[in-house]
Chain A
Amino acid sequence: MTATTPANPANPPVQQNRKTRRFGMVINLDACTGCGACMMSCAVENNCAPAKDKITDRTGITLMRVFPVNDRQPMPARRSGFVPMPCMQCEHPPCESVCPQQAVELDKLSGIVDQMPQRCFGCRYCIAACPYHARYFNWSDPEWPAGMEQTLNPAVAPRMRGVVEKCDFCHGRLHLAEDQAALEGNDDYTYTPACVEACPTQAIVFGDLNDEESEVTRLAKDPNSFRFLAKLGTEPKVYYHSEHEWRRNLAERTANGSTPAAEGRNS
């Protein structure tokens, strides 16, 4: 026998019949100025600590990282640009399947690949599995100068050493939006991640890819939009857009020897 719960208008069953979303992004590479505002606002929103002396580009925590790139032409004919790289929020995330602790989970309601540092024990299989290098390991405990911990965002818990973290499309903001929607008794909400809010040229468009009317869906379907390493079949929900072919060629960087390059510290 199955027990049925009478409907209570004052307490609607929030978890049932919730709208399924696929939050995604389209980043216009032609509008990115490489200023780094997205990186800074991301670090503030997600309580990333200022770098200690020995932290380098290999050991730092930059959940959103902007990479300078170029078309490998000799100077001065070289064309350059910038590629902001958050977690790609794959539909088939390789990091999820390799995690022995179930610390990575694709949220079916939002389409966001969640990272739960409380479960992570730091094996870093996910870092090895991620083809986008979008995951970061906490090599040390976060430290803030005395008093600066007052400026931390209460919606996001600081992570300790020994765990992996990554962009989760500002999950704290998503929770706030969900709470507000629940208070108002509707399920029709959206929100803005910190990097989208910060971009001075509005190069990042964010929204629900399930919504056919949304700007993000329209841009994602544009013929000049593309996804990085699409051939791997991970189905990223972060799209890039460019009117320039050399930038679109960045998507499959191992295709041939003339593909564009990421600029390194000693390039």
Chain B
Amino acid sequence: MAITRRDLLLFGGGSVVALPFTPIPYKLLDDVSIWTQNFPWLPVPKPGEITQVATTCTLCAAGCGLKVRRVDTRPIGIAPAADHPVSHGALCPLAFGAHQLAWHPRRIRTCRLNGAEAEPSVIAAKVAAAISTGAKFAILDERPGRAVSSLYRQAATLAGGLYLAPEAAEEATLAAIRRLLPATAPALGFDITNARTVLSFGAPVLDGWGVPGEMLTRWKSGEATFIHAGSRYSHTARLAHRWLPVLPGSEGALALGLARVLVDEGLAAQAAGLDHFKTLLDEMPMNRVAEITGLKPGEIASVARELHAGGPAVAIGGGELAGPLGEEVETAIAALNVLLGAVGREGGIVARGPLAADTPDLAPVTTLNQAAAGSIGVLLIEAATAGAAQPWKAIASRLAPEALVVVMSPYQTGYAAFAQAQVATPAFLEALEEAPTAPGAARHSYALAPTVLDAPETAIAPAAFLALVAGEAGWTSLAEASTETAIKARAAAIHAAKRGSVFAIEDASETPVSGIESADALYDKLAAGAVWVDAAPATPPLKPALPGATGDDRQRLLAAAATPVAPAAGDFAVVAIPAAWTGNAPAGTRVPLAGKLDQESHLRALPGEAMIHPATARRLNIKAGARLLVESEQAKCPVTVRLSDAVMQGVVEVSPGATDTLDLFATAHGSALRAVRVRLGRA
């Protein structure tokens, strides 16, 4: 049979038609799919033995208990420690990606001086040489209260310099209350576990504030009412049982308004100085309070009555991460606590009891605005992973011209960008670290985070670097300093006091300190990831005096509370407030996976975004997605606009993305404010 051209065409055409009905193309697709799954650039995780290490999170000051899941020696995940007495089995989202921080893209593995690699000893010699020329030395400790902090204070003492520590936002109201108490009064804390009503003045109490696990446990229990007074529709405002949308910068007026209702209706607790304080309140009539805060007088009155009826109630100031309220406003909130009878009461503000006493010859703890402007010649900064955020402008205003700034940090972020020298320190999990009492906590605690990963050989612990400086400067008492020695001394002090108990994460067991045979045994337990928690102290009688004893005091307080930040009608300025949370705190380092929460979803604002109400945007002729320049008295900062009708009109919420974003809120006096007037221009 002859095969014709037509036969060939028929066969070819038939084959093409039949091919999709055979397995051949699908097999090919399958094979290609499988082959492409095995491209060499896709990492293949190595299997191994799975183990867990109990430790403590040191990303922020809360000190939550956690378990690091490892395959062989590699950390592959983090889980919360159930029943942990500090964190109550809760962790913030960032903790879950914290084990990846050692490989952060901005990790510093070698020390650098003026942009070039340098040995730590060279940088230490430069610091010592600068000190020897008479330059004023200061050390900024981003995580005060640790055993290693005592080494910093010793160094400041030996150099005749300053030990600077930022005041934690959680402690701002407590500090104001301490100013109303005798100087011998003990340290204070919020007894959230027993509080029935919590009033927060902008403080993000349900979004990473203090120890998140404690707050959330109380919130979920339904046994406490949360009232949030703030200008931002934040996570805390959403979750609170009641939200009071006050105008920016009016928190002080609200506190005085609430105090006035308590006094006028005879609901106030008796306190010294009530007569003077009434004089102050007389100058703050309710219609004026309503005008400043934007709330109705009846609404303010009902909150005051709710606080009185729902006792024990506690009022918490302390700003969002980037926005402190200011000393006078905190004083007004402290006075409200006094009138609520919260000071010295279970469920209110309680004494923590003394811990190991400081050595008397240590340098006192100083805040940045207490340092003279332009005075610091050598500044050594220990930038803890997610320490309190301070605007760089505020720090820079305290520096002398040509000052030497050295940052000890594992990352080239935050303050490291402004320093001449960067000392590469171990990252999270790479060295023994401490978690002292969380700011605002009712009871003392102390935990250690043991070493889980090997640090780079070129990294040096802050205490070891300080020892190098001490060696160069001839401070013999510090030349042998080490983190371990300092921690052992702290453990010995806790053991000697024989108070409280130690909780072991691994088996959830609790051992009284009095049952631990030696200080070394206590140290060994802590170094294995356990946490010491103090016994609940018997609250001593606290007798605070209300502020406003002198005319000057009253005028200062009134001036801070009664001055609205809002621009005048017709002014094209707007008020900026920070939309900060721990995930975009500029002083810290973002966990690499944090983008899941903002960049890859709508859950949080992206760093560097500014949110404006559509009506404000229309008034200022701004469109969504526009690049703008936000300009305050102290700084300019580029932002990307996002529209949201949840933002107050006339307000721009700035999500921090870099340290210079915070400069918007800096004052000329080395501090910062929560709400500032700004102008918006084209970037």
Contact = CB atoms under 8 A, between A and B. Distances in A.
A80 interface: yes
B288 interface: no
A33 B103 contact: no
Interface in A90-132: 101, 117-121
B99 interface: yes
Interface stretch (A15-23, A37-45, A218-226): A37-45
Interface stretch (B42-50, B51-59, B166-174): B42-50
B17 interface: no
B90 interface: yes
A190 B394 CA distance: 54
B235 A40 contact: no
Contacts of B32: 121
Contact of A40 (B33, B93, B105): B93
A217 interface: no
B75 A76 contact: no
Interface size class of B (residues with CB under 8 A): 35 or more
Given A33-B235, A121-B33, A148 B597 contact: no
Q: Sort chain A's interface into a size bin.
A: 35 or more
A154 B80 contact: no
B596 A48 contact: yes
A160 B39 contact: yes
Contacts of A201: 90, 216, 219-220
Interface in A163-183: 163
B43 A152 contact: yes
Contact of A51 (B48, B595, B646): B595
B103 A148 contact: yes
Interface stretch (A4-12, A54-62, A227-235, A248-256): A54-62
Contact of A120 (B33, B74, B239): B33
Contact of A151 (B75, B216, B645): B75
Contact of B603 (A39, A81, A197): A39
A69 B366 CA distance: 44
B550 interface: no
B601 A40 contact: no
A255 B26 CA distance: 42
Nearest to B606: A265
Nearest to B583: A36
A36 to B, nearest CB: 4
Interface in B45-103: 45-48, 71, 74-80, 89-94, 96-97, 99-100, 102-103
A143 to B, nearest CB: 8
Contact of B216 (A33, A47, A117, A267): A33
A200 B97 contact: no
A231 B145 CA distance: 58
A58 to B, nearest CB: 9
B624 interface: yes
Given A66-B603, A154-B45, A201-B220, A45 B77 contact: yes
Contacts of A39: 93, 596-597, 601, 603
B645 to A, nearest CB: 6
A40 B96 contact: yes
A264 B42 contact: no
Interface in B194-209: 206-208
A68 interface: yes
B80 A198 contact: yes
A118 B593 contact: no
Contacts of A56: 599-600
A14 interface: no
B103 A151 contact: yes
Contact of B207 (A35, A47, A141, A194): A35
A121 B645 contact: no
B446 interface: no
Interface string B11-45: 00000000000000010011011101101011111
Given A76-B245, A118-B34, A200-B212, A57 B600 contact: yes
Most buried by A among B42, B92, B219, B643: B42
Nearest to B78: A44
Contact of A41 (B43, B96, B105): B96
A37 B93 contact: yes
B238 interface: yes
Interface string A129-167: 000000000000110111111111110111110110000
A185 interface: no
Contacts of A3: none
A33 B200 CA distance: 17
B624 A60 contact: no
A76 B33 CA distance: 52
Interface of A: 31, 33-37, 39-41, 43-45, 47-48, 50-51, 55-57, 60-62, 65-68, 74-76, 78, 80-82, 101, 117-121, 141-142, 144-154, 156-160, 162-163, 194, 197-198, 200-202, 263-267
11 contacts: A51-B599, A75-B245, A81-B238, A121-B32, A148-B592, A149-B45, A150-B103, A151-B103, A160-B37, A197-B79, A197-B80
Given A45-B77, A200-B80, A200-B91, 15 more contacts: A37-B96, A39-B603, A40-B96, A41-B77, A41-B96, A51-B599, A74-B645, A78-B646, A81-B238, A150-B74, A152-B45, A160-B36, A160-B39, A197-B79, A267-B645
Q: Give the 6 A-B CB pairs with smallest separation, nearest first.
A: A60-B600, A200-B90, A51-B595, A148-B103, A149-B43, A152-B45
Interface of B: 26, 29-30, 32-34, 36-37, 39, 41-48, 71, 74-80, 89-94, 96-97, 99-100, 102-105, 206-208, 212-213, 216, 219-220, 233, 235, 238-239, 243, 245, 591-597, 599-604, 624, 642-646
